[in-house]
Structure 1
Amino acid sequence: MMHVRVQGQALWVGEDAYPLSRVTSTRPQVERPPERSWTISRFIFLLLALAYLAITIDTSNQSALNVTLMAAGPIALPLLFLIGLYQLRAGLRRKTLHKLIIETASSRTIVVTSHDSRQISSLRKAIHNPRAEFAIQVENAHFGDKIAQYGDHNTGKRVGL
């Protein structure tokens, strides 16, 4: 469980503090999962590729490639099918992520990521109200920073995943 709060002129995400006096602006950002049709079409393409491989294995041909396919096929084809099935399930279950981006004079950072847009909206309002005291508890928090910064694009602490 991660505690996110605005208290004492600072935004607290767990034990990390962001002074509100240095925050120049905030904005929400929405990350939508890929279209369901795209996820399903990728799985169908995988099924067609696996079917093609299964059909093209010729037991009468003794070429090196065919011998390798005959040896690895009974293990590799079901394994690739299970991996594709897992990716299909994961792709269809992805939810929309709502992010809170805070900007300071020197950088832009994604501070909080949640599936609930109301949490992001309430937190954003509390940051812009100097007298606000605000706190939320986020279930299923990812502890530890996940930071990947390339130019002005970065991801900050991901919460609620």
Structure 2
Amino acid sequence: MTLSEEARARLADVVELQPTKNSELQERWGLESGSEVHGYLEEELSEYYYRDENSLIRATPEAAELVDVEPGVEGGDGETVIRVSGLERQAFEVLAGPEERSQSVVSVLHDLREAYDVDPAAEEVRSALQSLKRKGVVEVEYRSVPTFRRAAARDDVRVEAREED
């Protein structure tokens, strides 16, 4: 299957953002709905992606080879490498460790404000934490509200900020 330039670029996005979901690709691609994303994936990239057990979109190994883009999550010699947005990187840095008490979104927001002199909306912080959860480096503990902590020691994960569009 020969891919158009647009399809190749979009496949590179799937590889880079994986694991991802329709809404992230919708935002990246400037589409109107998640249904449009699904339709595009099925029509243009069906051979190069699949949905995992959590219905998250992942690229096939062939896709990563074809577009020569680094996947969003890599495993290596005891170290995981993830490529994330700047806010996700900052959230990972301030987030409680695996042995510490998990933090609420608001607690992480306050830590971000203090550590980085930024003022994201609580929804942006929640989204960043959920993205890190999907990448497997943050876990959720449900108390009266969902709370988060790193799933691995800070030194076991190398967090790289991906270039923003």
Q: Same fold (TM over 0.5)?
A: no
Larger Rg: 1
TM-score range, shorter chain: under 0.3
Identify the structure with the greater strand proportion: 1
TM-score (norm 2): 0.20
* Structure with more relative contact order (C-alpha pairs < 8 Å, separation 6 or more): 1
TM-score (norm 1): 0.20
